[in-house]
């Protein structure tokens, strides 16, 4: 049994921070950032919590879908930057929505939404769920070294969500994989204050090998799209829309060039949001769903890639 997407939703913090504002305390400029990343601004949590964004995106998706929170059989949330390590971000959403179904988080970095969607599909396939809320929410700005211009200019905060229902042909194809690599992109865990540890833990801020991520990202997009098309017995050029992880404009441009697909079929949100990690794909999908470009029967390729190095690809048909 497959599933159908009933509704999408998204949310961003109110505060938008431009490249020019960053240049006030970093040795950088709007030109330096934009030409290297394609980013002009990003949204940053100030008064909002991640719980607030996650609930707002979920409420919007539920409203569009026409499903009440009491009808949900499962809530799955992708996050690596939750407001609390315990309980799960999904539990906070359930509490605020008034849902009593199982709720838990998954962690697969920037590929997390696709992995969460696959978990939800598994529940539906086993007859364990009829309606599922799948969310991705990240407050990446809390995990950054704000003196490091190579990384802090890239990220922002945000959330996206979808409500899916049992029945339908999705997914048309799935590609999940890991190319194990812990050091290329990482955020160390809790430091703690244990008196029994012989050495101090590293500070919990993000570090990244940009060149490695660039090469990995381009290959991940291209290889995954080709595999999805092959598994679904369609040509790459027959895919109507592409929703890729929004890491860097140069990665997107290089991947599009190699794939040979029209630029207008690729959804872009990077310019105004920066990289919002696993929330990039559902956020971009929600933006696509609000346009006239998306029609019933259209095919959509989702490709996420991130720390781990995890890769997640889903080929869907919009209904």
- Catalytically active residues are 110, 245, 275
Tokens 């400029």 sit at which residue?
29
How many Å is the maximal CA-CA distance in the chain? 60
Q: From 65, 69, 66, select the one nearest 90 (Cα to Cα).
A: 69
Residues 126 and 257: their CA atoms lie apart, in Å, by 40
What are 18-26's contacts with CB under 8 Å, separation 24+?
Answer: 19/153, 22/149, 22/152, 22/153, 25/146, 26/146, 26/147, 26/149, 26/152, 26/153
Whether residue 315 contacts residue 146, with contact meaning beta carbons closer than 8 Å, is answered with no
Tokens, residue 61 = 């998706």
Polymer length of the chain:
319
Q: How far is it, in rounded angstroms, from Cα 187 to Cα 226? A: 31
Instruction: Say how far apart CA 8 and CA 246 lie, in whole Å.
Output: 18
């Amino acid at each position: 049994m497959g599933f159908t997407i009933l509704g999408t939703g998204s949310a961003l913090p109110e505060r938008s921070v431009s490249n020019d504002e960053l240049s006030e305390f970093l040795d950088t400029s709007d030109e330096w950032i934009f030409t290297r990343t394609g980013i002009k601004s990003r949204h940053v949590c100030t008064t909002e919590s991640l719980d607030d964004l996650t609930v707002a995106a979920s409420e919007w998706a539920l409203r569009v879908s026409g499903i009440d929170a009491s009808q949900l059989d499962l809530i799955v949330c992708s996050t690596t930057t939750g407001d609390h390590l315990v309980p799960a971000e999904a539990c906070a959403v359930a509490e605020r929505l008034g849902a009593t179904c199982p709720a838990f988080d998954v962690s697969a970095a920037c590929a997390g939404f696709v992995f969460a969607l696959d978990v939800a599909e598994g529940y539906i396939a086993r007859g364990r769920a009829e309606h599922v809320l799948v969310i991705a929410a990240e407050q990446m700005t809390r995990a950054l070294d704000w003196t490091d211009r190579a990384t802090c200019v890239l990220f922002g905060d945000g959330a996206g969500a979808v409500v899916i229902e049992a029945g339908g042909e999705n997914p048309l194809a799935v590609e999940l994989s890991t190319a194990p690599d812990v050091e290329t992109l990482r955020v160390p865990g809790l430091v703690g204050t244990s008196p029994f540890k012989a050495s101090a833990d590293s500070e919990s801020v993000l570090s990244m090998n940009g060149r490695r991520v660039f090469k990995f990202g381009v290959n991940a997009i291209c290889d995954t799209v080709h595999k999805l098309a092959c598994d679904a017995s369609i040509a790459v050029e027959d895919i109507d829309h592409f929703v890729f992880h929004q890491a860097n404009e140069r990665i997107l441009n290089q991947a599009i060039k190699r794939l040979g697909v029209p630029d207008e079929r690729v959804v872009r949100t990077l310019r105004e949001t920066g990289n919002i990690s696993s929330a990039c794909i559902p956020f971009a999908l929600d933006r696509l769903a609000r346009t006239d470009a998306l029609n019933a029967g259209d095919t959509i390729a989702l490709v996420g890639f991130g720390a781990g190095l995890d890769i997640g690809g889903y080929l869907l048909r919009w209904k």
